[in-house]
Amino acid sequence: MTAKRDTLRATVLAVWLGLGMVPGVVGAAHAQPADGICVTDDAEREVCLGAPATRIVALSPGVTELLFAAGAGERVVGAVSFSDYPAAAEDLPRVGSYDRLDLEALLALAPDLIVAWAGGNPREQVERLAALGLPVYFSDAGDFAAIATSLERLGALAGSEAHGRAAADRLRGEVAELRSRYADAVPVSVFYQVWDEPLMTVNGDHWISRALSLCGGENPFADESPLVPRIGREAVLARDPEAIITGGMGKADSSWLDAWRDFPELTAVRRDNLFFVDPDLVQRATPRLVEGTRALCAHLETARERR
DSSP string, 123-144: HHHHHHHHHTT--EEEE---SH
Determine the 3-state secondary structure of 209 from DSSP.
Answer: helix
Does one domain contain both 172 and 201? no
Calculate the dihedral angle through the C-alpha atoms of 246, 247, 250, 255, rounding to the nearest 10 degrees.
10
Does one domain contain both 170 and 24? yes
Does one domain contain both 25 and 114? yes
Average pLDDT over residues 101-122: 96
Does one domain contain both 128 and 261? no
Please report whether residue 9 resides in a domain: no
Lowest pLDDT segment from 59-73, 120-134, 240-254, 258-272: 240-254
Does one domain contain both 217 and 171? no
Q: What sign results for the dihedral spanned by CA atoms 236, 238, 239, 240?
A: positive
**Number of folded domains that form the chain:** 2
Structural domain including 291 reads 184-305
Does one domain contain both 70 and 116? yes
Query: How far is it, in rounded angstroms, from Cα 273 to Cα 248?
Result: 16
Confidence band (pLDDT; 50, 70, 90) for 35? Answer: low
Closest CA to 289 of 80, 79, 143: 143
Q: Are 242 and 268 in contact (CB under 8 A)?
A: yes
Please report whether residue 87 resides in a domain: yes
Please report whether residue 105 resides in a domain: yes
The 10s digit of each residue's pLDDT in 177-199 is 999 999 999 999 999 999 999 99
Q: Is a pLDDT exceeding 50 seen at residue 156?
A: yes
Q: Is a pLDDT exceeding 70 seen at residue 259?
A: yes
Does one domain contain both 153 and 189? no
pLDDT at 250 (0 to 100): 66
Does one domain contain both 159 and 270? no
